[in-house]
Structure 1
Amino acid sequence: MAEDKTIKEERYNPAEVEARWQGRWSESRLFDVDEDPAKPKYYLLEMFPYPSGRIHMGHMRVYSIGDALARLKRMRGFNVLHPMGWDAFGMPAENAAIAHHTHPAKWTYENIAYMRGQLKKLGFSYDWRRELATCDPSYYRWEQLVFIKMWEKGLVYRKKSLVNWCAKCQTVLANEQVEDGKCWRCDSEAQKKQMHGYFFRITDYVQELLDHTEKLPGWPERVLTMQRNWIGKSHGAEIDFPIEGRDEAVKVFTTRADTIFGATFMSLAPEHPMALELAAAAGREAQVKDFIDRVGRQSFADRADDKQKEGVFTGAYCLNPVNGRRMPVYVANFVLMDYGAGAVMAVPTHDQRDFEFAKQYGLELVEVIVGPDGPQGVENMERAFTDYGRLVGSGQFDGMTSDEAKRAIPQWLAEQGLGKLTVNYRLRDWGISRQRYWGAPIPMIHCDKCGLVPARVEDLPVVLPLDAQLPATGGSPLPLLEGWVNTTCPCCQGPARRETDTMDTFVESSWYFARYACPDYVDGPLDPARVDYWMPVDQYVGGIEHAVLHLLYSRFFVKVLRDLGMLKVDEPFLNLLTQGMVIKDGAKMSKSKGNVVDPDDMVARYGADTVRLFSLFAAPPERDLEWSDQGVEGAHRFLGRLWRLGLAVAETPAGERPGPCDGPLGELRRKAHETIKKVTEDTDRFQFNTAIAALMELINQISLVEQDAALADDPRRAAVLREAVEAAVVLISPMAPHIADELWSRLGHAEFLLNVAWPVYDEAALVVAEKEVVFQINGKVRGKRMLPAQSDDEALKQAALADPKVRKFLGEAVVKKVIVVQGRLVNIVI
């Protein structure tokens, strides 16, 4: 081994190494990829970021995971697509622009430029030719085209409806964007408000969306369960309750038709279209309107609060269709239009909310389901009996079980023309209208003569005007831009006005992954040949917080694109990896908590490879990662040890490939091939933490051999060391690519490691000739010896009994039995 102090003492300088290799990768267009039918394709994608201004540690972690996977797959012979872009529209840009007295476009594009530079300094293997920003007209023009095609197909409609409204953000929220009664973005209380808006008919695909959750074995079961629960399929009955004195009926969906004989009043949602109509007819319009207005100002959380059940009598009655009971119709704050038909047949003895409401307003209770102990008696009830049981007081259905009655009663009602068995879904159509400026314009035109008509396809894109000045109080400036709003009707050529609502930004993120396949295509949204080659995404990586919002919408949008003839796949993402959060001091990193670690600072101090390696080593991808300054230091020291060993080995001739060895050299060779096997298997399962741990063990063993003076003159030493070091360099390259390429070059190789085939372990090198076997007497160690690895139990037993140290301790004792643990120990019981 050369003793050149200059070489041995050359310090690892990550800034210099990383800048050099990022430049070489860029010059060689190493990460550019095109379709290649001769290779199996692999589309690896991380959820694209919102250009908020800076990359944070959450980004750092997810992109480190994705880049390691992309590099692994390429080294294993796949043609890998790994793109990057920007989810660039949205309300935060408007809020930031107002706060900083600038324009959302300027703020967004400046952030994109800065964050692009950050990502490039981290060495991620993105094909930057495919970069897209959703705020670019060249992107959203095709989204507008898809919108028009959906309108023509009946998959888009506009109506006035009760929507979720965020007063702070001055915009509508989809149901999925209301979390615990609050705006998902700003955490303000959401309110209900009547507004016109556009809706996507996601409910047309509800059963397919549900069925296809069974066709996604590569998704976490937790995410699939969340989607199934949000879709919320329930089997029940749709029942008509005739309104007294009118030719109308209140339509109800219930999963407990077996309790209908106990229904004593009707509860309507405050938003129910009949609420004010019935009240007006009964002369109670003022009281009911006052209640509805007050409830409209309540948050979802208040309405769902068990302590806040309120109602008002409309003055109207409906008739129970099974027994003719006269039932007062109330408006109740806890009934929501989002479920069923916005009306609930109230059975106070068998539903706890109805029980509490009935007690509060002095309404009738009738017991119709009994358990094994028989009737409780309504006078004895302290709570509703909500279990299944047998029917009583239910006419011809008495004695039936709840399960039997849930089928029999709707069948009887169907014969009377008053009901039917049916299926209900919690999922509602996707409201995509936003009353904000910084979004894709909805390509519709209002004409007094022709009504609501789509823009002409040849006039797309409808470009968002960049000369708009945002009001300091919030809200959209678009309705005030007469030069933009006023246009010509594409049908009659008369005066008309553009739609001033913009699209929900989740529309842009529902198809960006397909556009990455052909971002330069100008003849339509998607190039059939290229998108057919790349789609679906083979591995998607991102946070579980998008389980319902983004992932469900993307699945819907892909099915729409398929039915429009633009795609051939049914699902966008074959496999999904949901990484955990980065936490510090027990809490998620956030500015408000003051526990943010800046990736730029970490990279400047330790280098990108260190931060990437720590992100992958500190926890399995699906678990939360607890930030540790000591852990980062440890990762940096490990790379320093690899650096020193790599340079030391690089100074020796390459020589021939090593053959079979014994002693420490044989153990090192075996360890190198065991590590190849383990890293391969662990990275296949995304267990980068255990793969890196195995590499650390290998480096430890390399160090021991490299420092062993007794091996200095062994002619096999240099070849065994080189094989082990080169294996370590190749194996670590997906996780720490800069230092790996530098050492690979220093070791005499000309090619980039990304173009080197992933190593294959040698089965023969894994064979263990001897194993150390421990000898025990009554569980206490009395000796140990290296024995042939293939020794059977009898041979191990005899070796133990013959061992001099064992014989000394045995003396004249009687051996009762001998326990053999193959290849590990022999315990002699005396």
Structure 2
Amino acid sequence: TDYAERLLDDMKELEGKWPEKVLTMQRNWIGKSVGAEVTFEIEGRAKPITIYTTRPDTLYGATFMVVAVDSELARELAIGGKVESEFKTYFDSVKAASDIDRLATDRPKSGIFLERFATNPVNGERIPIWASDYVLADYGTGAIMAVPAHDQRDLDFARAMKLPVRTVVETDGEDPATSGIATAGEGKLINSGSLNGLSSEAAIAKINGELAAKKLGKAANNYRLRDWLISRQRYWGTPIPIIHCEKCGEVPVSLDQLPVKLPDATGLDLKPKGTSPLATATDWVNVPCPQCKAPAKRDTDTMDTFVDSSWYFLRYTSTNTHDAPFDKKEVETWLPVDQYVGGVTHAILHLLYSRFFTKALHDMGYVSFTEPFSRLLNQGMVLKDGSAMSKSRGNLVRLSDELENHGVDAIRLSMVFAGPPEDDVDWSDVSPAGSAKFLNRAWRISGDVTSKPGVDFASGDLALRKITHKSLHDIGIAVESFRFNVAVARVMELVNAVRKAIDSGCGGADPAVREGAEVIAIALSLVAPFTAEEMWERLGHKPAIALVGWPKLDPKLLVEDAVTAILQINGKIKDRIEVSPTITDAELQALALANPGVIAGLVGATVKNVIVRAPKLVNIVI
């Protein structure tokens, strides 16, 4: 939790590089709220209660207080009082409920009046204290000021227990006391003493100042994020390097004994029993204390396996380093990770833990960077009939059959072509047969090229060369931006262009045809390497195509000789003409007004305006 604010602030570095969905999930998981801590005096208790609220402007509307039934505070206020027995009965009835169940909006509200009262610090009002399960012990201070008019759960509780409802923020909504719907928005304050007439924003600033001056409260932030309990009672995990000594207490394992390794599991009962199975490995557990040498015991819990996955990428840089977790020089050379590809299911677990670990290691001086993964791509899933494949659903695809029928290149190509990698793909939308036919078309091109390797491409057909280099340009951009489906589409277009040139154009002997065929082979090597390798050899080259490198792009061949300009009258297309990319507005307007189709459309009309957007549009308004 010490890193909560930095985990939030540093997301600015990741915006545009990580999916916004993941960043939003992490923000929500950290759950920062801006508000105030307010002190309430408790009758018969020397120490006051501090509560956290995101709406200090509604303090005058607090008509009761609620403490979490499982909190130490609730127990303290109830034990020894008239409601002790009733409190214990209520606690036993709700203690098994999960936090999610307790916070559910449709859960019937329940609670017990503790026969205790608090004093509202802004108006001196005496308000009753209740214990309920809809307040969580580990959020904020485990106690809330209840403002039923402006919080739905408080209102539901107030209506169930017949507690007063006081509106203190005037909005366009109906009176919550009669409508049963809390008005949670901002507005103008009423029934709030000196705050009357102020906006919620102004009231918050004023009340925070007054509370601070009286030492009854202060502005504060709160987080949903909690500290991470990493101990687990299971065999598989990293042993916790702590030795428990009756005399010295908890003693770290000596550095020369690290890392602590798991004992042989042979003979151990690894079934869950509520205690760690390592406790039965007595030869491993019983060791001398590193300090006093007296008999002691190892910690038998293991760490959550997410601890390991939070820094594995650091270890990857130097797996042969045995005297340290990782080699700092290698880490500085290779990290942070340039591109991470992983499922969105890791958003609030592994990815968040790794960010925390990296920041902690940075503060300790082990790494120079604070974010582990520069860019993130969440890949989608392959579905069948709209659902994830599983044996229970009976919607599996036998990959071996598909490979036998179509080949691995066709399978891979069809998967890539089905859509962007971050989208889920249904197998019914995948077409291995179509991909196999396309690969055969591409492969046949390599056999129809009759020029020799090394021929001067510059002497080839200019029109085809322009198509090839435009395709090469677009394929490169698509690959770099993970739009592999677009890259495949551009390769398909190039295959069509080269095939047309061979069959009815410049012919297979033209150097431009060889250039196009080689670009096709190299581009296909990214997703169909076996087909591409065969094409490369048929084109007269030695293996392997993977060693060739990406073709060199000629920027001059990307310059268009002409562009299509659309001529319109009142937005309706009258003609299309080919013009120079550098044509001026005046030149394009003159051509438009001289165009026969435009002239015919202007007969008997008065031109009110001519809108020109050279080199692509002229719209004449009549």
- Deviation (angstroms), 1:412: 2.4
Select 1:704's aligned residue among 478, 495, 500. 500
**3-state DSSP of counterpart to 1:698:** helix
**3-state DSSP of counterpart to 2:148:** coil
Return closer, same or farther for 1:462/1:764 CA change in 2, 3 Å cut-off.
closer
Q: How many aligned positions are there?
A: 611
- Deviation (angstroms), 1:279: 0.8
* Aligned partner letter, 1:731: A
**3-state DSSP of counterpart to 2:469:** helix
Return closer, same or farther for 1:351/1:609 CA change in 2, 3 Å cut-off.
same
- Deviation (angstroms), 1:727: 1.0
Query: TM-score scaled to structure 1, two decimals?
Result: 0.67
- Deviation (angstroms), 1:510: 0.7
> How far apart in 2 are the matches of 1:730 and 1:504?
45
- Deviation (angstroms), 1:523: 2.1
Q: Which residue of 1 aligns with 2:259?
A: 461
Is contact 2:382-2:427 (8 Å) kept? yes
Q: Which residue of 2 aligns with 1:336?
A: 136
Q: Which residue of 1 aligns with 2:361?
A: 561
Return closer, same or farther for 1:722/1:381 CA change in 2, 3 Å cut-off.
closer
Q: Which residue of 2 aligns with 1:433?
A: 231
Q: Does 1:535 align with 2:335?
A: yes
Give unpaired runs (5+ residues) of structure 2.
none
* Aligned partner letter, 2:486: T
Select 1:656's aligned residue among 455, 461, 471. 455
Is contact 1:583-1:624 (8 Å) kept? yes
- Deviation (angstroms), 1:789: 8.2
> How far apart in 2 are the matches of 1:353 and 1:679?
55
> How far apart in 1 are the matches of 2:213 and 2:134?
32
| Deviation string, structure 1 residues 700-752 (Cα, Å, up to 9, x no partner) | 122222233x755xxx8342221110011112222223332332233233363
Q: Which residue of 1 aligns with 2:536?
A: 744
Select 1:388's aligned residue among 186, 193, 212. 186
Q: Which residue of 1 aligns with 2:112?
A: 312
Q: Which residue of 1 aligns with 2:511?
A: 719
Q: Which residue of 1 aligns with 2:33?
A: 234
- Deviation (angstroms), 1:797: 5.9
Return closer, same or farther for 1:301/1:768 CA change in 2, 3 Å cut-off.
closer
- RMSD, aligned CA: 3.6
Select 2:57's aligned residue among 244, 250, 258. 258
- Deviation (angstroms), 1:778: 12
Return closer, same or farther for 1:701/1:282 CA change in 2, 3 Å cut-off.
same
Is contact 1:336-1:342 (8 Å) kept? yes
Return closer, same or farther for 1:562/1:473 CA change in 2, 3 Å cut-off.
closer
Q: List aligned pairs for 1:783-802, cutoff 5 A.
A: 793=588, 801=596
> How far apart in 2 are the matches of 1:226 and 1:342?
25
Is contact 2:452-2:540 (8 Å) kept? no
Return closer, same or farther for 1:265/1:743 CA change in 2, 3 Å cut-off.
same
Select 2:320's aligned residue among 514, 520, 536. 520
**3-state DSSP of counterpart to 1:281:** coil
* Aligned partner letter, 2:467: K
- Deviation (angstroms), 1:531: 0.7
Is contact 2:155-2:180 (8 Å) kept? no
Select 1:414's aligned residue among 183, 208, 212. 212
Is contact 1:447-1:489 (8 Å) kept? yes
Q: List aligned pairs for 1:318-397, cutoff 5 A.
A: 318-371=118-171, 376=175, 380=178, 382-397=180-195
| Deviation string, structure 1 residues 430-485 (Cα, Å, up to 9, x no partner) | 12122222211111222222222222221122222232544556664222332332
Q: Which residue of 1 aligns with 2:92?
A: 293
Q: Which residue of 1 aligns with 2:243?
A: 445
> How far apart in 2 are the matches of 1:608 and 1:298?
51
**3-state DSSP of counterpart to 2:145:** strand
Select 1:595's aligned residue among 395, 416, 430. 395
Return closer, same or farther for 1:533/1:828 CA change in 2, 3 Å cut-off.
closer
Return closer, same or farther for 1:409/1:825 CA change in 2, 3 Å cut-off.
closer
Q: Which residue of 1 aligns with 2:446?
A: 646
> How far apart in 1 are the matches of 2:166 and 2:99?
31
- Deviation (angstroms), 1:225: 2.1
Select 1:675's aligned residue among 444, 447, 471. 471
Is contact 2:533-2:544 (8 Å) kept? yes
Q: Which residue of 2 aligns with 1:631?
A: 431
Return closer, same or farther for 1:446/1:667 CA change in 2, 3 Å cut-off.
same
Return closer, same or farther for 1:564/1:743 CA change in 2, 3 Å cut-off.
same
Return closer, same or farther for 1:541/1:607 CA change in 2, 3 Å cut-off.
same
Q: List aligned pairs for 1:72-111, cutoff 5 A.
A: none
| Deviation string, structure 1 residues 316-359 (Cα, Å, up to 9, x no partner) | 22222233333222211111123211111112222221111111
Q: Which residue of 2 aligns with 1:688?
A: 484
| Deviation string, structure 1 residues 357-380 (Cα, Å, up to 9, x no partner) | 11111223333333479x95x864
Give unpaired runs (5+ residues) of structure 1.
1-202
Return closer, same or farther for 1:681/1:322 CA change in 2, 3 Å cut-off.
same
Return closer, same or farther for 1:369/1:769 CA change in 2, 3 Å cut-off.
closer
Q: Which residue of 2 aligns with 1:576?
A: 376
* Aligned partner letter, 1:683: V
> How far apart in 1 are the matches of 2:548 and 2:152?
66
Return closer, same or farther for 1:379/1:789 CA change in 2, 3 Å cut-off.
closer
Q: Which residue of 2 aligns with 1:616?
A: 416
Is contact 2:459-2:511 (8 Å) kept? no
- Deviation (angstroms), 1:632: 1.9
Return closer, same or farther for 1:740/1:417 CA change in 2, 3 Å cut-off.
same
> How far apart in 2 are the matches of 1:549 and 1:237?
29
Q: Which residue of 2 aligns with 1:111?
A: none
* Aligned partner letter, 1:748: G
> How far apart in 2 are the matches of 1:586 and 1:519?
41
Is contact 2:451-2:511 (8 Å) kept? no
**3-state DSSP of counterpart to 2:3:** helix
Return closer, same or farther for 1:783/1:338 CA change in 2, 3 Å cut-off.
closer
Is contact 2:114-2:129 (8 Å) kept? yes
Is contact 1:269-1:337 (8 Å) kept? yes
* Aligned partner letter, 1:728: I
**3-state DSSP of counterpart to 1:252:** strand
* Greater mean deviation of Cα atoms: 282-291 or 335-344: 282-291
**3-state DSSP of counterpart to 1:659:** helix
Is contact 1:744-1:753 (8 Å) kept? yes
Q: Does 1:210 align with 2:8?
A: yes
- Deviation (angstroms), 1:267: 0.9
* Aligned partner letter, 1:608: V
* Aligned partner letter, 2:207: I
Is contact 2:64-2:128 (8 Å) kept? yes
* Aligned partner letter, 1:519: T
Q: Which residue of 2 aligns with 1:479?
A: 279
**3-state DSSP of counterpart to 2:377:** strand
- Deviation (angstroms), 1:828: 12
> How far apart in 1 are the matches of 2:298 and 2:242?
6
Higher RCO (CA-CA < 8 Å; seq separation 6+): 1
- Deviation (angstroms), 1:238: 0.9
> How far apart in 2 are the matches of 1:359 and 1:606?
67
